[in-house]
Structure 1
Amino acid sequence: MAFSPAVTTIAQTIQLSLSPVFMLAGIGAVLNVISQRLARVVDRARALEALHPRSTGPEHDRHVWELRLLDQRMSVINAALVLCVTSAVATCCVVALLFIAELVHLRIGNVVAVIFVLAMAMLVAGLIAFLIEVRLSLRATHVRVELLEKERA
Protein backbone atom coordinates (compact mmCIF):
# COMPACT_ATOMS: atom_id res chain seq x y z
CA MET A 1 0.00 0.00 0.00
CA ALA A 2 1.56 3.30 -1.09
CA PHE A 3 -0.49 5.48 1.29
CA SER A 4 0.50 3.70 4.50
CA PRO A 5 3.23 5.61 6.38
CA ALA A 6 6.30 3.79 7.65
CA VAL A 7 6.36 2.70 11.26
CA THR A 8 9.41 4.88 11.85
CA THR A 9 7.51 7.90 10.55
CA ILE A 10 4.66 7.23 12.99
CA ALA A 11 7.19 6.69 15.80
CA GLN A 12 8.81 10.05 15.02
CA THR A 13 5.39 11.73 15.02
CA ILE A 14 4.59 10.18 18.39
CA GLN A 15 7.90 11.50 19.73
CA LEU A 16 7.06 14.95 18.38
CA SER A 17 3.69 14.89 20.09
CA LEU A 18 5.05 13.95 23.53
CA SER A 19 5.70 17.53 24.65
CA PRO A 20 2.15 18.68 23.91
CA VAL A 21 0.82 15.54 25.61
CA PHE A 22 2.84 16.31 28.75
CA MET A 23 1.47 19.82 28.57
CA LEU A 24 -2.05 18.35 28.46
CA ALA A 25 -1.32 16.37 31.62
CA GLY A 26 -0.22 19.55 33.35
CA ILE A 27 -3.28 21.45 32.16
CA GLY A 28 -5.44 18.62 33.48
CA ALA A 29 -3.87 18.95 36.92
CA VAL A 30 -4.37 22.73 36.88
CA LEU A 31 -8.00 22.31 35.81
CA ASN A 32 -8.55 19.92 38.71
CA VAL A 33 -7.22 22.47 41.20
CA ILE A 34 -9.19 25.33 39.67
CA SER A 35 -12.46 23.38 39.57
CA GLN A 36 -12.01 22.36 43.22
CA ARG A 37 -11.52 26.01 44.15
CA LEU A 38 -14.67 26.92 42.24
CA ALA A 39 -16.62 24.24 44.13
CA ARG A 40 -15.40 25.61 47.46
CA VAL A 41 -16.29 29.17 46.49
CA VAL A 42 -19.78 28.11 45.39
CA ASP A 43 -20.31 26.19 48.64
CA ARG A 44 -19.23 29.22 50.68
CA ALA A 45 -21.49 31.52 48.67
CA ARG A 46 -24.47 29.22 49.24
CA ALA A 47 -23.77 29.13 52.98
CA LEU A 48 -23.56 32.92 53.13
CA GLU A 49 -26.70 33.32 51.03
CA ALA A 50 -28.54 31.29 53.66
CA LEU A 51 -27.21 33.51 56.48
CA HIS A 52 -27.73 36.79 54.62
CA PRO A 53 -31.49 37.32 55.28
CA ARG A 54 -31.10 36.67 59.04
CA SER A 55 -28.10 38.93 59.58
CA THR A 56 -28.14 42.56 60.67
CA GLY A 57 -25.71 45.37 61.33
CA PRO A 58 -21.97 44.79 60.94
CA GLU A 59 -22.50 41.05 60.44
CA HIS A 60 -24.82 41.76 57.49
CA ASP A 61 -22.32 44.20 56.02
CA ARG A 62 -19.57 41.57 56.31
CA HIS A 63 -21.80 39.00 54.58
CA VAL A 64 -22.53 41.39 51.73
CA TRP A 65 -18.83 42.22 51.38
CA GLU A 66 -17.85 38.55 51.30
CA LEU A 67 -20.64 37.66 48.84
CA ARG A 68 -19.38 40.37 46.49
CA LEU A 69 -15.85 39.02 46.82
CA LEU A 70 -17.07 35.45 46.19
CA ASP A 71 -18.94 36.62 43.10
CA GLN A 72 -15.78 38.29 41.82
CA ARG A 73 -13.76 35.14 42.56
CA MET A 74 -16.27 32.99 40.64
CA SER A 75 -15.90 35.25 37.61
CA VAL A 76 -12.10 35.07 37.73
CA ILE A 77 -12.14 31.30 38.25
CA ASN A 78 -14.50 30.93 35.30
CA ALA A 79 -12.11 32.95 33.14
CA ALA A 80 -9.19 30.76 34.27
CA LEU A 81 -11.18 27.61 33.47
CA VAL A 82 -12.17 28.86 30.02
CA LEU A 83 -8.59 29.86 29.19
CA CYS A 84 -7.09 26.58 30.40
CA VAL A 85 -9.72 24.43 28.66
CA THR A 86 -9.22 26.40 25.44
CA SER A 87 -5.48 25.85 25.81
CA ALA A 88 -6.08 22.11 26.23
CA VAL A 89 -8.30 22.00 23.14
CA ALA A 90 -5.69 23.89 21.09
CA THR A 91 -3.01 21.51 22.34
CA CYS A 92 -5.14 18.53 21.29
CA CYS A 93 -5.46 20.16 17.86
CA VAL A 94 -1.66 20.44 17.69
CA VAL A 95 -1.27 16.72 18.37
CA ALA A 96 -3.96 15.82 15.84
CA LEU A 97 -2.48 18.15 13.21
CA LEU A 98 0.97 16.61 13.70
CA PHE A 99 -0.44 13.21 12.77
CA ILE A 100 -2.66 14.49 9.96
CA ALA A 101 0.21 16.47 8.45
CA GLU A 102 2.44 13.41 8.52
CA LEU A 103 -0.20 11.05 7.13
CA VAL A 104 -1.23 13.30 4.23
CA HIS A 105 2.12 14.97 3.75
CA LEU A 106 0.88 18.48 4.50
CA ARG A 107 3.38 21.24 5.08
CA ILE A 108 1.58 23.02 7.90
CA GLY A 109 4.44 23.47 10.33
CA ASN A 110 3.74 27.19 10.65
CA VAL A 111 0.07 26.55 11.45
CA VAL A 112 0.98 23.96 14.09
CA ALA A 113 3.54 26.33 15.61
CA VAL A 114 1.06 29.22 15.77
CA ILE A 115 -1.60 27.03 17.39
CA PHE A 116 0.92 25.76 19.94
CA VAL A 117 2.04 29.31 20.76
CA LEU A 118 -1.62 30.33 21.18
CA ALA A 119 -2.19 27.32 23.44
CA MET A 120 0.76 28.38 25.58
CA ALA A 121 -0.46 31.99 25.67
CA MET A 122 -3.93 30.86 26.79
CA LEU A 123 -2.37 28.64 29.45
CA VAL A 124 -0.27 31.55 30.73
CA ALA A 125 -3.36 33.78 30.80
CA GLY A 126 -5.30 31.06 32.64
CA LEU A 127 -2.52 30.72 35.21
CA ILE A 128 -2.46 34.50 35.69
CA ALA A 129 -6.23 34.46 36.25
CA PHE A 130 -5.71 31.65 38.76
CA LEU A 131 -3.08 33.74 40.55
CA ILE A 132 -5.48 36.70 40.66
CA GLU A 133 -8.15 34.46 42.18
CA VAL A 134 -5.74 33.21 44.83
CA ARG A 135 -4.88 36.80 45.71
CA LEU A 136 -8.58 37.66 45.91
CA SER A 137 -9.18 34.72 48.23
CA LEU A 138 -6.57 36.05 50.63
CA ARG A 139 -8.74 39.10 51.21
CA ALA A 140 -11.40 36.93 52.80
CA THR A 141 -9.08 34.66 54.78
CA HIS A 142 -7.56 37.23 57.07
CA VAL A 143 -8.85 36.83 60.60
CA ARG A 144 -10.71 39.87 61.80
CA VAL A 145 -8.82 41.83 64.46
CA GLU A 146 -11.70 41.67 66.96
CA LEU A 147 -11.58 37.86 66.84
CA LEU A 148 -7.86 37.64 67.58
CA GLU A 149 -8.37 38.67 71.25
CA LYS A 150 -4.84 39.93 71.56
CA GLU A 151 -3.41 39.96 75.06
CA ARG A 152 -4.00 43.14 76.97
CA ALA A 153 -1.03 44.78 78.62
Structure 2
Amino acid sequence: MNLHLGNIGQIIQLAIAPVFLLTGVGTNLTVLTNRLARIIDRSRVLEEIVGQQGAESLTPIMRIELDELYQRSHLINRAITLSSTCALLVCLVIAALFLGDALDIHLDKIIAALFVAAVFALIGSFIFFLREIFVATKTLRRQREHGARFLP
Protein backbone atom coordinates (compact mmCIF):
# COMPACT_ATOMS: atom_id res chain seq x y z
CA MET A 1 0.00 0.00 0.00
CA ASN A 2 1.93 3.01 -1.30
CA LEU A 3 0.11 6.28 -0.98
CA HIS A 4 1.92 9.26 -2.37
CA LEU A 5 0.86 12.85 -1.94
CA GLY A 6 0.66 13.32 -5.72
CA ASN A 7 -1.62 10.30 -6.10
CA ILE A 8 -3.94 11.51 -3.36
CA GLY A 9 -4.16 14.90 -5.04
CA GLN A 10 -5.13 13.27 -8.33
CA ILE A 11 -7.73 11.11 -6.63
CA ILE A 12 -9.22 14.13 -4.87
CA GLN A 13 -9.43 15.88 -8.24
CA LEU A 14 -11.21 12.85 -9.69
CA ALA A 15 -13.59 12.74 -6.72
CA ILE A 16 -14.70 16.37 -7.11
CA ALA A 17 -17.29 15.66 -9.82
CA PRO A 18 -19.02 12.93 -7.79
CA VAL A 19 -18.96 15.23 -4.75
CA PHE A 20 -20.77 17.93 -6.73
CA LEU A 21 -23.31 15.32 -7.79
CA LEU A 22 -23.67 14.33 -4.15
CA THR A 23 -24.38 17.96 -3.23
CA GLY A 24 -27.11 18.15 -5.87
CA VAL A 25 -28.63 14.89 -4.67
CA GLY A 26 -28.65 16.25 -1.12
CA THR A 27 -30.55 19.32 -2.31
CA ASN A 28 -32.96 17.08 -4.19
CA LEU A 29 -33.55 15.05 -1.03
CA THR A 30 -34.30 18.25 0.88
CA VAL A 31 -36.93 19.24 -1.67
CA LEU A 32 -38.47 15.77 -1.66
CA THR A 33 -38.64 15.49 2.12
CA ASN A 34 -40.22 18.96 2.36
CA ARG A 35 -42.88 17.93 -0.13
CA LEU A 36 -43.49 14.71 1.80
CA ALA A 37 -43.90 16.71 5.00
CA ARG A 38 -46.53 18.92 3.35
CA ILE A 39 -48.39 15.85 2.05
CA ILE A 40 -48.36 14.27 5.50
CA ASP A 41 -49.61 17.50 7.11
CA ARG A 42 -52.51 17.75 4.67
CA SER A 43 -53.38 14.06 5.13
CA ARG A 44 -53.45 14.51 8.89
CA VAL A 45 -55.93 17.38 8.56
CA LEU A 46 -58.27 15.19 6.54
CA GLU A 47 -57.81 12.20 8.83
CA GLU A 48 -58.46 14.37 11.87
CA ILE A 49 -61.84 15.32 10.42
CA VAL A 50 -62.63 11.64 9.98
CA GLY A 51 -61.57 10.98 13.57
CA GLN A 52 -63.70 13.82 14.97
CA GLN A 53 -66.78 13.66 12.76
CA GLY A 54 -66.70 10.16 11.31
CA ALA A 55 -66.08 8.89 7.80
CA GLU A 56 -69.44 10.18 6.60
CA SER A 57 -68.20 13.76 7.11
CA LEU A 58 -65.81 13.39 4.19
CA THR A 59 -67.27 14.67 0.96
CA PRO A 60 -66.55 12.79 -2.27
CA ILE A 61 -64.13 15.54 -3.26
CA MET A 62 -62.30 15.22 0.07
CA ARG A 63 -62.06 11.46 -0.45
CA ILE A 64 -60.52 12.06 -3.87
CA GLU A 65 -58.03 14.47 -2.32
CA LEU A 66 -57.11 11.94 0.36
CA ASP A 67 -56.56 9.27 -2.29
CA GLU A 68 -54.39 11.68 -4.26
CA LEU A 69 -52.39 12.54 -1.15
CA TYR A 70 -51.69 8.84 -0.58
CA GLN A 71 -50.70 8.46 -4.22
CA ARG A 72 -48.40 11.49 -3.96
CA SER A 73 -46.80 10.16 -0.79
CA HIS A 74 -46.01 6.84 -2.48
CA LEU A 75 -44.48 8.63 -5.47
CA ILE A 76 -42.37 10.88 -3.22
CA ASN A 77 -41.26 7.88 -1.15
CA ARG A 78 -40.05 6.17 -4.32
CA ALA A 79 -38.24 9.33 -5.39
CA ILE A 80 -36.59 9.61 -1.96
CA THR A 81 -35.55 5.96 -2.09
CA LEU A 82 -33.96 6.39 -5.52
CA SER A 83 -32.23 9.64 -4.53
CA SER A 84 -30.85 7.98 -1.41
CA THR A 85 -29.69 5.06 -3.53
CA CYS A 86 -27.98 7.50 -5.87
CA ALA A 87 -26.21 9.18 -2.94
CA LEU A 88 -25.02 5.82 -1.61
CA LEU A 89 -23.73 4.80 -5.03
CA VAL A 90 -21.87 8.09 -5.41
CA CYS A 91 -20.28 7.54 -2.00
CA LEU A 92 -19.20 4.09 -3.16
CA VAL A 93 -17.68 5.66 -6.28
CA ILE A 94 -15.63 8.04 -4.13
CA ALA A 95 -14.56 5.24 -1.79
CA ALA A 96 -13.65 2.99 -4.73
CA LEU A 97 -11.51 5.77 -6.22
CA PHE A 98 -9.48 5.98 -3.04
CA LEU A 99 -9.36 2.23 -2.40
CA GLY A 100 -8.32 1.49 -5.96
CA ASP A 101 -5.46 3.92 -5.69
CA ALA A 102 -4.42 2.95 -2.16
CA LEU A 103 -4.42 -0.79 -2.87
CA ASP A 104 -3.26 -0.44 -6.47
CA ILE A 105 -6.34 -2.28 -7.76
CA HIS A 106 -7.92 -1.51 -11.11
CA LEU A 107 -11.50 -0.70 -10.21
CA ASP A 108 -12.25 1.43 -13.27
CA LYS A 109 -15.07 -0.78 -14.55
CA ILE A 110 -16.65 -1.04 -11.09
CA ILE A 111 -16.39 2.72 -10.61
CA ALA A 112 -17.95 3.35 -14.02
CA ALA A 113 -20.76 0.88 -13.31
CA LEU A 114 -21.46 2.44 -9.91
CA PHE A 115 -21.52 5.92 -11.42
CA VAL A 116 -23.87 4.89 -14.24
CA ALA A 117 -26.14 3.14 -11.69
CA ALA A 118 -26.14 6.34 -9.60
CA VAL A 119 -27.17 8.42 -12.60
CA PHE A 120 -29.96 5.97 -13.46
CA ALA A 121 -31.18 6.10 -9.86
CA LEU A 122 -31.22 9.88 -10.05
CA ILE A 123 -33.13 9.76 -13.34
CA GLY A 124 -35.69 7.44 -11.71
CA SER A 125 -35.98 9.78 -8.76
CA PHE A 126 -36.70 12.72 -11.05
CA ILE A 127 -39.30 10.68 -12.96
CA PHE A 128 -41.19 9.87 -9.74
CA PHE A 129 -40.83 13.50 -8.63
CA LEU A 130 -42.30 14.68 -11.93
CA ARG A 131 -45.19 12.20 -11.62
CA GLU A 132 -45.88 13.53 -8.11
CA ILE A 133 -45.95 17.08 -9.45
CA PHE A 134 -48.46 16.04 -12.11
CA VAL A 135 -50.75 14.54 -9.45
CA ALA A 136 -50.38 17.66 -7.27
CA THR A 137 -51.25 20.01 -10.15
CA LYS A 138 -54.23 17.84 -11.05
CA THR A 139 -55.46 18.27 -7.46
CA LEU A 140 -54.84 22.01 -7.64
CA ARG A 141 -56.76 22.24 -10.92
CA ARG A 142 -59.71 20.40 -9.36
CA GLN A 143 -59.66 22.75 -6.37
CA ARG A 144 -59.73 25.75 -8.69
CA GLU A 145 -62.65 24.28 -10.63
CA HIS A 146 -64.62 23.92 -7.39
CA GLY A 147 -63.85 27.48 -6.37
CA ALA A 148 -61.89 26.84 -3.17
CA ARG A 149 -59.92 24.40 -1.13
CA PHE A 150 -61.74 21.26 -0.07
CA LEU A 151 -61.25 22.16 3.56
CA PRO A 152 -60.96 25.38 5.54
Name the Cα RMSD after superposition.
1.6
Rounded to whole Å, the distance in 2 between the matches of 1:131 and 1:146 is: 25
Q: Is the 8 A contact 2:79 2:125 kept in 1?
A: yes
In the alignment, does 2:96 pair up with 1:97? Answer: yes
Q: Provide the residue aligned with 1:139 in structure 2.
A: 138
**Residues 11-43 of structure 1: per-residue CA shift (max 9 Å, x gap):** 000000000000000000000000000000000
How far 1:63 sits from its partner (Å)? 1.2
Match of 1:40 among 38, 41, 46: 38
- Identity, % of aligned pairs? 33
Q: Is the 8 A contact 1:52 1:63 kept in 2?
A: no
Size of the aligned set, in residue pairs, is 145
Letter in 2 for 1:51: I
Match of 1:4 among 2, 10, 13: 2
Q: Which moved more, 1:31-40 or 1:60-69?
A: 60-69
Structure 2 counterparts to residues 68-83 of structure 1, below 5 A: 68-83=67-82
Rounded to whole Å, the distance in 2 between the matches of 1:10 and 1:146 is: 62
How far 1:146 sits from its partner (Å)? 4.3
Letter in 2 for 1:75: H
Larger radius of gyration: 1
Rounded to whole Å, the distance in 2 between the matches of 1:104 and 1:77 is: 40
* Alpha-carbon spacing, 1:112–1:146, altered in 2? closer, same or farther (3 Å): closer
Query: Following superposition, which runs of at least 4 residues in structure 1 exceed 4 angstroms of deviation?
Result: none
Structure 1 unaligned residues grouped into runs of 5+: 149-153
Q: 2:117 is paired with a residue of what secondary structure?
A: helix
TM-score by length of 1: 0.89
Rounded to whole Å, the distance in 1 between the matches of 2:113 and 2:146 is: 54
How far 1:60 sits from its partner (Å)? 1.3
Q: Provide the residue aligned with 1:20 in structure 2.
A: 18
Rounded to whole Å, the distance in 2 between the matches of 1:51 and 1:63 is: 10
Structure 2 unaligned residues grouped into runs of 5+: none
**Residues 100-150 of structure 1: per-residue CA shift (max 9 Å, x gap):** 0000000110011001000000001001110110111111112343427xx
How far 1:52 sits from its partner (Å)? 3.3
How far 1:56 sits from its partner (Å)? 5.0
